[in-house]
Amino acid sequence: MTHGIYMGGSYDHVVNNHVHHIAKSATCTSAGGSAIGVDSYYKGVWNDVVGNTVNDIGPAGCKYIQGIYVSTSGTVKDNLVYRVGEAAIHLWHDANHVKIINNTVTSSHYGIIVGGGNFYNSSTGDDYTIVNNNIVYDNTYGISEQGVTGTHNSYSNNLLYQNSGYNISLKNGLTAKGTVSSNPLFVGYSRTATTPNYHLTSSSPAIGRGTSVGINPTDIEDKPRNATTGYDIGAYQH
């Protein structure tokens, strides 16, 4: 099996699931796969992936199997994604107008890929995508624009640290704003432990450093996010 949850329609929601150990020993072919797949082949639009935990997906070195894979419009918010053979969060095909907000992604080949290519129904590329308040830590590559992308994508208040290849690579002269370049100081981070703890310690530089733009009112555990305590970066509000 190379797919966990797959959506091909419109206005669907994948919320509060734990998808794990998908395709760990799969043969790596261009047929691909993902833990959570949001497909635009049948012209689906505006799908939401919110509050899920995704881990241990795909064999190492296979570029065709992703964590959360989105090829249309919608949102990817408050998810925890780690140990994915290729990209923790990958936008491709007809992806556009996607809000990638308050996710924690670690220990994968790519943290977040924003791009378009191998088009189904459109050739305009990925544009008007917002990437805010994400922790992208200890991957080979952090945030990467690839393929066809537009000039209206924006990147704000992300924590990018210890991604060995690069932390962020954007196209079209775009620059990121409000980036935090520090260790997120998780309660119990591990690349190999069965249940690493991605909550923020009280000393984390992610606390209060996020923006309110595009956020959900609660985090992955339904804890409120509000201006009084400050908007934290990542899936967990401290």
What pLDDT, on the 0 to 100 scale, is given for residue 86? 97
Give the whole-angstrom CA distance, residue 199 versus residue 189. 9
Q: Token digits for 178?
A: 């409000």
Write out the two tokens for 203. Answer: 């000393």
Beta-carbon contacts of 160 under 8 Å, excluding residues fewer than 6 positions away, are 136, 137, 142, 143, 167, 168, 176, 179, 180, 181
| 3-182 is classed CATH 3.40.50.12160 | no
Give per-residue pLDDT as tens, 70-94: 999 999 999 999 999 999 999 999 9
pLDDT in tens, 156-205: 999 999 999 999 999 999 999 999 999 999 999 999 999 999 999 999 99
Residue ranges of domains in the chain: 3-182
Give the mean model confidence (pLDDT) for residues 40-49: 96
Q: Which two tokens stand for residue 117?
A: 């290519």
Do the bridges between strand 166-169 and strand 80-84 make them parallel or antiparallel, or are there none, so unpaired?
unpaired
Residue burial 61-76, b: 16+ Cβ < 10 Å; e: rest:
ebebbbbbbbbbbbbb
DSSP 201: P
Query: Rounded mean pLDDT of 43-53?
Result: 97
- pLDDT > 90? residue 1: no
Whole-model pTM: value is 0.97
Distance CA 212, CA 230 (A): 9
